[in-house]
């Protein structure tokens, strides 16, 4: 398997720049979280990677070759999106056949098992499904399709908590059995924190974070205690947010701490989670 490289992508609609010189690499067999606020450009980016949309400039490459109009390379990339691309009369089972025809080697055993997991009838017409059921039917295709890069745009839209849990479990299971790359674009950050290995954050039309989850979270500290002591301790560190309660100050840091510096007794250091890190990095903090 080869890397997928996004190189200097720019997407403009008239005078609005939606993606501004985006570059990153997707490694084979890794689970990525693509995060960004509403309108950040996530869907646009995934549509360009899967050749559903053309960039204004820049390109997407696999093994150094442009995927644009290259059928062999495009057959390595699958996009599950909100848009319903199936004809009105199509049954769930027929969407499996379509994926098999386009990508080959569709995993019918997995798909049939997942129909039971998600309590769906394979003979049901896609247009007659509820929002959550339609999402589930698309998830089945995305997990059973034979593609090296599976891009999931809002894959949990309308799914109830039980089915979301089932999706996460099945994703991990199929990933362990047959490692390939998944990109999960979602707003349910708390729920995917356990799944993703690498995080891409799109903000203000640019990638502002491209990092392993563990290395990101290792830099996410809260430092709290008496204001003066906290101020002294965080001097020179990247502070994303500050909260004050009486004389007790809590700062949210995104930085490496200096191991050599003594920590005053009254100062407490803890970690915080991906969801809060995302919020503070993308406007909820003190830019």
Ligand X SMILES: Nc1ncnc2c1ncn2[C@@H]1O[C@H](COP(=O)(O)OP(=O)(O)OP(=O)(O)O)[C@@H](O)[C@H]1O
- 8 Å CB contact between 94 and 122: no
Nearer to ligand X, 146 or 185 (CB): 185
| CB burial of residue 128 (10 Å; 0-12, 13-18, 19+) | exposed
Distance separating alpha carbons of residues 219 and 98, to the nearest angstrom: 45
Q: What is the DSSP string of 245-287?
A: ETTEEEEEEES---TTSPPPTT-EEEE--HHHHHHIIIIIS--
Nearer to ligand X, 132 or 179 (CB): 132
Return all residues near 242 (Cβ < 8 A) that are at least 6 apart.
249, 250, 251, 252, 286
Nearer to ligand X, 186 or 224 (CB): 186
Q: Is 176 in the site for ligand X (CB under 6 A)?
A: no
Residue 29 gets which letter from DSSP? S
Q: Is 155 in the site for ligand X (CB under 6 A)?
A: no
CB of 261 to ligand X, least distance (A): 39
202-261: which residues touch ligand X (CB under 6 A)? Answer: none
Q: Is 13 in the site for ligand X (CB under 6 A)?
A: yes
CB of 275 to ligand X, least distance (A): 15
Nearer to ligand X, 44 or 224 (CB): 44
Nearer to ligand X, 188 or 237 (CB): 188
CA distances from 250 to 5, 28, 233, 240, 272 (A): 39, 39, 12, 11, 12
CB of 225 to ligand X, least distance (A): 37
CB of 8 to ligand X, least distance (A): 18
Distance separating alpha carbons of residues 133 and 138, to the nearest angstrom: 9
With b for 16 or more beta-carbon neighbours within 10 A and e for fewer, the 83-103 pattern comes to eeebeeebbbbbbbebbbeeb
# binding residues, ligand X (CB under 6 A): 10
Q: Is 184 in the site for ligand X (CB under 6 A)?
A: no
Nearer to ligand X, 42 or 164 (CB): 42
Distance separating alpha carbons of residues 39 and 34, to the nearest angstrom: 13
Nearer to ligand X, 18 or 115 (CB): 18
CB of 186 to ligand X, least distance (A): 9
CB of 188 to ligand X, least distance (A): 12
Q: Is 6 in the site for ligand X (CB under 6 A)?
A: no
Q: Is 15 in the site for ligand X (CB under 6 A)?
A: no
Binding mask 26-55 for ligand X (x = CB under 6 A): ----------x-xxxxxxx-----------
Distance separating alpha carbons of residues 222 and 243, to the nearest angstrom: 10
- 8 Å CB contact between 9 and 50: no
Q: Which residues bind ligand X (CB under 6 A)?
A: 13, 18, 36, 38-44
């Amino acid at each position: 398997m080869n890397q997928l490289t996004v190189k200097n992508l720019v997407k403009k609609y008239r005078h609005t720049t939606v993606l501004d010189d985006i570059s990153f690499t997707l490694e084979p067999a890794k689970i990525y979280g693509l995060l960004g606020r509403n309108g950040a450009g996530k869907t646009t980016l995934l549509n360009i990677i899967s050749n559903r949309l053309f960039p204004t400039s820049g390109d997407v490459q696999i093994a150094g070759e442009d995927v644009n109009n290259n059928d062999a390379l495009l057959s390595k990339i699958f996009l599950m999106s909100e848009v319903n691309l199936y004809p009105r009369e199509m049954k769930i089972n027929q969407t499996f056949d379509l994926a098999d025809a386009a990508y080959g080697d569709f995993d019918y055993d997995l798909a049939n098992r997942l129909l039971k997991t998600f309590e769906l009838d394979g003979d049901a017409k896609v247009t007659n499904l509820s929002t959550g059921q339609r999402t589930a039917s698309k998830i089945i295709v995305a997990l059973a399709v034979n593609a090296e890069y599976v891009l999931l745009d809002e894959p949990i839209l309308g799914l109830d908590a039980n089915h979301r849990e089932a999706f996460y479990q099945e994703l991990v299971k199929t990933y362990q059995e047959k490692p390939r790359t998944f990109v999960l674009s979602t707003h349910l950050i708390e729920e995917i924190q356990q799944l993703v290995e690498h995080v891409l954050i799109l903000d203000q039309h640019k990638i502002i974070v491209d990092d392993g989850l563990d290395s990101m979270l290792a830099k996410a500290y809260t430092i709290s205690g008496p204001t003066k002591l906290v101020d002294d301790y965080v001097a020179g560190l990247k502070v994303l947010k500050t909260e004050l309660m009486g004389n007790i100050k809590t700062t949210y840091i995104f930085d490496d701490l200096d191991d050599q510096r003594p920590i005053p007794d009254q100062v407490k250091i803890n970690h915080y989670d991906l969801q809060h890190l995302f919020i503070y990095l993308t406007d909820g903090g003190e830019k």
